[in-house]
Amino acid sequence: MGDEKWEMRKVRSIFIVEDDPEMCITLENILSEEGYTVKTACSGGEALRLARKEEYSVCLLDLELPDISGIEVLKHLKAFNPDMCVIVITAYESKEKAIEALEAGAYYYMYMHNEKTVNRAELLVTVKRAYDTYQLLEDKKRVEDELRWSEEKYRSLVQSTGDSVYLVDRNCKYLFMNEQHLSRLGLSKEQYLGRPYQAFHTSKESRWFAEKVKHVFDTGTTIQHEYRDENGRCFLKNMSPVRDPETGMVTAVTVVSKDITDLKSTERELMATRDYLNNIIDSSADTITVVDKEGIVRDWNKGAEGVMGYRAEEVIGKPNKKFFLDPEDAERIMEQVQREGVIRNYRTVVLRKDGKQIHVSMSASLLRDKNGVPIGTVRVSRDITKEVELERRVKEERDNLNLIFESMVDGVYAISRTYEVEFMNKVLRDEFGDCVGDICYRVFHDRDEPCPLCKLQVVMEKGQTVRWEWHSSRMNKIYDLIETPLKNIDGSISKLTIFRDITARKKAEEEIRKLNRELELKVVDLQEATRIKTEFLSITSHELRTPLTPMKAQLQMLREGYKGKLNQRQKESIELILRNLARLDRLINDILDISRIEMGRIKMAFQVMDLNDAVKEAIKMQEPFIRQKGIKLRVQLAELPLIIGDNERLRQVMSNLINNAIKFSPDGSEVIIETSTTLEGENVLFSVTDFGIGISEEGKKKLFQPFSQIDASMSREKGGTGLGLAIAKGIIRAHNGKIWVESAQGKGSSFYFSIPIRQKVREKEVPYICDSN
């Protein structure tokens, strides 16, 4: 506002009003030399005219002016510019004029010594002082202006603010109250001034207020607090001291009271939201942490506590490097997040407090302040130990599977939906080289398109396992293939093929079939031959017996005396013939038996029986022979479980064995017959022991074969057929039993047979007796 005046003032200008031209010039010169800019007027009228136009700070005024009295001019000049310092000059040493001038507002009065002269020094000093005074006045005015303006500013601020502003003195009397507070208390200006706080508030409030005011007065500090009025509205009160600028003493307290009810509710809402968010973060089972740019942990949720084992207070403020198995990871994550702003599914291994390692999948993003400046990272991690373990196991199984495939003799390969070879085992690699990635039909079959018989579609689409034989005409081989869908870790499906070259096997099978057919034919031939033989034997035996019948009949009649009396020699002769006839008859029987056994045509009549009964019968049949040779028979029969067998045939066997024992025993010697069950209780055992001539090692080997040397020669001597043991063996074998001999030459023999107690019996089957055992 007063800036223009400032500019002017810098150039020191002075206004001279002097009618005397010489004086005027003199004055002008003196002042110009001193650096002042001078303006002159030679009359009152001119002076006033000039003064109206411009403002001068100092004026030299001659009181003796031609037109208007100097005093009048002075008064006018002062009217125009009250601050101007007017120095009146006059020749007259007249105190009355001087006083009048001073009263009219002149600054100073100077006398001119002698006429038309002035004291130069005095003039300069006076002008200078005038100037200084003027400046001071101007300064004062400026300061006052500023102060006023400032005051205005503050007043308007105070009045227009939404906050309550008021001043109280030491006794809590209101010195000032702004509009807001006035309306809040419902007062008018007149009502408050000088009234105490207590007048408008409850005693409780007033007590409390007075305390605060006292505190500010005593300590000179500003205090701030929240305060709730009886209507429930919330205020933030700021009480600050007003100091006397000179003494510095507190003279009043300014109270600014801000209604923060809404703020508070917003704050409450924010806090509620914050609490809500915190709850979410806390109740998450995942690890949620905040790490600042320097890698220091700033936040650590309950999930993190659970997963990592560290409580929040143990880790907040500390670097996060130690949580990573690989410390470099901490930096890597930070870098990546800062570079890309976010990372997802970053897999790493972290260390729990107890040292255990956990696999986690981490997502991290930048945390920015309200200006968008990154201040750290937020990380959410999930414990994926189980998933990792599962993956590891799947991989292990896959590796195991691969190992198996590699060591297999069969070829194994896998192809994708699009016929690409995904896997080949060693066998295939050796044959075709490593063709992983190539197209299967090109590699294996040298084709440009899928093979017509390819099972890829069936396997992939129907998810079926196909087993089939492929006859390759190109390679003249036959393969057995198993093709099955294979599920990969990534969810895709491949076709796994295991194949084997079965060309040789097929050939062998074909050979076998051929041989079987030949065998069948041979069997048919054999059966036919057998049938013919059997028939032959049947007929033959019948035919052979036929002449024997009348021979025997006639001889017997002769012997019985039907044809007349015979002498002793004749009788003996007939006996001889009859004996041999009987032998012949037996031979025919035995041959028939053997051949029937051989042909498998002996029918065993199996029944439940006690072997001991058959033993007793056999012994009875041999009784005459036993008596004849005076044999001492010792019979030890144990209690036997019932067996399934042909009583007749077994009796035949035992009779045969007993007969042999007696035959080859010296007269009067002992023969022991025993039955028992074997140790395991699975078989019944029969034995007959003699103390006769025994059998050589050689003899033992062939003993049970038809017409074996030993048996035949002995038989011829002793009247046997040479077939007995072979037949016995056949019969015992038909019972699933075993027959054997223990003997030492010259010491005697023991013949044994055993028959299983529990056995499945097939009536028609009789084994061949001419085999090597």
Residue that is written with structure tokens 């044994």 in the block: 752
CA nearest 354: which of 321, 306, 311, 309?
A: 309
CB 55 within 8 A of CB 78: no
**Smallest separation, CB 540 to other proteins (Å):** 11
Q: CB of residue 554 vs other proteins: minimum separation in angstroms?
A: 6
Q: How far is the CB of 544 from other proteins (least distance, A)?
A: 8
CA atoms within 13 A on the CB side of 98: 12
618 Cβ contact list (under 8 Å, min separation 6): 651, 654, 655, 658
Distance CA 348, CA 74 (A): 98
Of 262 and 560, the one with the shorter C-beta distance to other proteins is: 560
Q: Which 3 state secondary structure label does DSSP give 316?
A: coil
Distance CA 189, CA 176 (A): 9
694 vs 730, which CB is nearer to other proteins?
730
From 224, 223, 226, select the one nearest 260 (Cα to Cα).
226
Residue 666 DSSP code: P
Three-state SS sequence of 77-131: HHHHCCCCEEEEEECCCCHHHHHHHHHHCCCEEEECCCCCCCCHHHHHHHHHHHH
3-state secondary structure of 220: coil
Helix (H, G, I), strand (E, B) or coil at 526: helix
Distance CA 773, CA 771 (A): 6
149 vs 536 by CB, closer to other proteins? 536
Q: Minimum Å distance from CB 513 to other proteins?
A: 37
Quick one: 453 or 539, whose CB is closer to other proteins?
A: 539
The residue type of 488 is N
Of the pair 524, 553, the CB lying nearest other proteins is at 553
Chain contacts with other proteins (rule: CB under 8 A): 538, 541-542, 545-554, 556-557, 560, 562, 581, 585, 592, 603, 605
**Residue placing its CB nearer to other proteins in the complex, 29 or 556:** 556
- In the complex with other proteins, the residue whose CB is nearer, 452 or 550, is 550
Residue 545 C-beta: closest distance to other proteins, Å: 4
Write the CB contacts of 53 (distance below 8 Å, at least 6 apart in sequence). none
**Min. distance of Cβ 757 from other proteins in angstroms?**
26
CA dist 529 and 610 (Å) reads 38
With the C-alpha atoms ordered 654, 657, 661, 664, is the resulting torsion angle positive or negative?
A: positive
CB 542 to other proteins: min, Å: 5
CB nearer to other proteins: pick between 178 and 721: 721
Q: Rounded distance, CA 19 to CA 66, Å?
A: 7
DSSP class of residue 476 equals: T
CB count in 10 Å sphere of residue 496: 21
Residues 6+ apart with CB under 8 A from 286: 303, 307, 380, 381, 382
Indicate the residue among 533 and 552 with the shorter CB distance to other proteins.
552
User: Closest separation between CB of residue 529 and other proteins, Å?
Assistant: 21
* CB nearer to other proteins: pick between 501 and 585: 585
CB of 555 to other proteins, least distance (A): 10
Q: How far apart are CA 16 and CA 26, in angstroms?
A: 11
DSSP designation for 670: E
Whichever of 296 and 555 has its CB closer to other proteins, that residue is: 555
Query: Coil, helix or strand for 747?
Result: coil
Least distance (Å) between residue 559 CB and other proteins: 9
Query: With respect to other proteins, which residue has the nearer C-beta, 433 or 547?
Result: 547
Answer whether 650's CB lies under 8 Å from 613's CB.
no
Nearer to other proteins, 388 or 584 (CB): 584
Rounded to a whole number of angstroms, the minimum distance from the CB of residue 588 to other proteins is 9
Q: Is 252 exposed, middle or buried (0-12, 13-18, 19+ CB in 10 A)?
A: buried
Q: From the CB of 562, what's the least distance to other proteins, in Å?
A: 5
- In the bound complex, what is the minimum distance in angstroms from residue 541's beta carbon to other proteins? 7
Find the distance separating the first CA and the last CA of the chain, reported in whole Å.
147
Residue among 445 and 545 whose Cβ is closer to other proteins: 545
Q: Cα(56)–Cα(350) distance, rounded to whole angstroms?
A: 88
Integer Cα distance of 614 and 89 in angstroms: 190
CB of 616 to other proteins, least distance (A): 22
